Amino acid sequence: MPLLAPLWKGLRIALHLLTGAALAAVVATARALGHRVDWLDTLVPWWYRRLLNCLGVRMQSDGNAVGTALMVANHISWLDIPVIGAQDHVRFLSKAEVRDWPLIGWMSELAGTFFIARGANQVGEAIAGICERIQAGDPVAVFPEGTTGDGSQVQRFHPRIFAICRQGDLAVQPVALRYGTGPGPDPIAPFIGDDTLMAHLWRLIRQPGLEVRVSFLAPIPSAGLDRRHLADAARLAIVEHLGLDPADPVGRPGVAPRDKARAQARAVQDPG
How far apart are the C-alpha atoms of 134 and 44, rounded to whole Å?
Answer: 17
DSSP state of 220: B
Q: Are 178 and 212 in contact (CB under 8 A)?
A: yes
**Alpha helices (runs of H) in the chain, residue ranges in sequence order:** 4-32, 40-55, 80-85, 104-110, 123-135, 163-168, 197-206, 227-242, 259-269
CB 71 within 8 A of CB 84: yes
Q: What is the pTM of this model?
A: 0.84
Across 60-75, average pLDDT: 90
Contact 264, 271 (CB under 8 A): no
Between helices 259-269 and 227-242, what is the axis angle to 10°? 60
Q: How far is CA 193 from CA 77, 135, 153, 185, 257, in A?
A: 11, 35, 15, 17, 26
State the average pLDDT over residues 19-39.
Answer: 88
Three-class SS state of 158: coil
**Averaged pLDDT score across all residues of the chain:** 83
What span, in angstroms and rounded, lies between the C-alpha atoms of 190 and 183?
16
Stretch (H or E) spanning 156: none
What is the mean pLDDT of the segment spanning 45-57? Answer: 92
Phi, psi angles (nearest 5°) of residue 215: -120, 120
Q: pLDDT value at position 257? A: 43
Q: How far apart are CA 97 and CA 28, in angstroms?
A: 21
pLDDT band of residue 145 (cuts 50, 70, 90) is very high
CA atoms within 13 A on the CB side of 201: 15
- Order of strands across the sheet that contains 210-216: 57-62, 210-216, 171-179, 69-73, 140-142, 91-95, 114-116
Asked whether the beta carbons of 265 and 230 are under 8 A apart, the reply is: no
**Helix 4-32 crosses helix 197-206 at what angle (to 10 degrees)?**
130
Asked if residue 216 has pLDDT above 80, the reply is yes
- What letter represents residue 76's amino acid? I
pLDDT of residue 123: 64
Q: With 50 as the cut, is the pLDDT of residue 254 above it?
A: no
CA dist list (Å): 29 to 10, 11, 22, 101: 29, 27, 11, 21
Rounded to an integer, the average pLDDT of 76-104 is: 83
- Kindly tell me if the per-residue pLDDT of 215 is higher than 90: yes
CB-count exposure of residue 24 (10 Å: 0-12, 13-18, 19+): buried
What pLDDT shows up at residue 217?
A: 96
For the cut 70, the answer to whether the pLDDT of residue 114 exceeds it is: yes
Answer yes or no: are the C-beta atoms of 92 and 45 closer than 8 Å.
no
Band (pLDDT 50/70/90 cuts) for residue 213 is very high
